[in-house]
Amino acid sequence: METIISPSILAADFNILGEQIQEVEKSGAKYLHIDVMDGIFVPSISFGMPVITSVRKHTKLFFDVHLMIVEPIRYIEEFVKAGADMITFHLEAAEGHVEETLDKIHALGCKAGLSVKPATPVSALEPYVMKTDMILVMTVEPGFGGQKYIETSTEKIRAVRQLLERHGLKTDIEVDGGITVDNAGIVKEAGANVLVAGSTVFQGNIAERVQKLLQA
Ligand code: DX5
Ligand code: ZN
């Protein structure tokens, strides 16, 4: 599977966000990872639709929107309108509405991803894999950038890949949190093909870091 890098703008310098997104566009990364936090599902608050709408006008990158908000179904239409190409929400935040949320995203012509926190077992994903375009395995506790990769995630990625194979699916697996040039090869080997990277990409030369992650 082709490896895709999805730089997380949570780690960008918002004072020069536009310029940094232009650099991402030239770097070989195809996605832009956009972390939306509500202060309830996760302790932190990041940004919402106005930021997405504004950057959408200036880039053709694929907008990989990661919703860390409770009851995401309430806001699907607004995120599609703002320019999301894929909306990934948390299984833990949508209890009782997971299928309905996936259907709603698809009905609006958007791709749908489903994410699990580190403590949520892989088996919880099984009822939804047929309807999901991407599984996001959180490799840190969601909420903040710059954390350390949780080592047990490697086995979890492998287990998700096996689950998908059992269903005859070649669904994308995204990993998010603590991805570095040193562990990128490990997560790819375990079965991940979409790599989110915040600090690794933005705390350095953007193009150089993206290329290193691609080559790892
Ligand atoms: C954490 C976010 C991540 C974060 C990753 O809750 O979902 O996307 O920006 O940042 P790094 O790559 O610095 O761990
Ligand atoms: Zn994220």
Residues 17-49 pLDDT 10s: 999 999 999 999 999 999 999 999 999 999 999
- The reported pLDDT for the residue numbered 33 is 99
Measured in Å, how far apart are the chain's first and last C-alpha atoms?
14
**If we measure between CA atoms, which residue out of 11, 42, 30 comes closest to residue 138?**
42
Which pLDDT does position 154 carry in this prediction? Answer: 98
* CA 216 to ligand 1 center in whole angstroms: 19
35 is annotated as an active-site residue: yes
Q: Are the C-beta atoms of residues 34 and 216 closer than 8 Å to each other?
A: no
Q: Distance (Å, rounded) from C-alpha 120 to C-alpha 76?
A: 23
Residue with CA nearest ligand 1 atom 6: 142
**pLDDT of the residue at 214:** 98
Phi, psi angles (nearest 5°) of residue 118: -55, -35
Active site residue 172: no
Q: Angle between the 206-215 and 17-27 helix axes, to the nearest 10 degrees? A: 40
Q: pLDDT value at position 115?
A: 98
- ∠ CA 145-62-36, nearest 5°, is 35
Spatial distance between the Cα atoms of 111 and 120, rounded to a whole number of angstroms: 22
Q: What pLDDT shows up at residue 40?
A: 98
| Ligand 1, atom 4: closest residue by C-alpha | 145
Comparing CA positions, the residue from 103, 115, 21, 99 lying closest to residue 65 is 115
Confidence (pTM): 0.98
The amino acid occupying position 114 is L
* Least distant ligand from the CA of 88: 2
Residues of the chain predicted below pLDDT 70: none
Identified catalytic residue from 38, 64, 172, 176 = 176
Return all residues near 35 (Cβ < 8 A) that are at least 6 apart. Answer: 8, 9, 10, 46, 66, 68, 145
Of the residues 35, 38, 64, 172, only one is catalytic, namely 35
| Mean pLDDT for all residues in the chain | 98
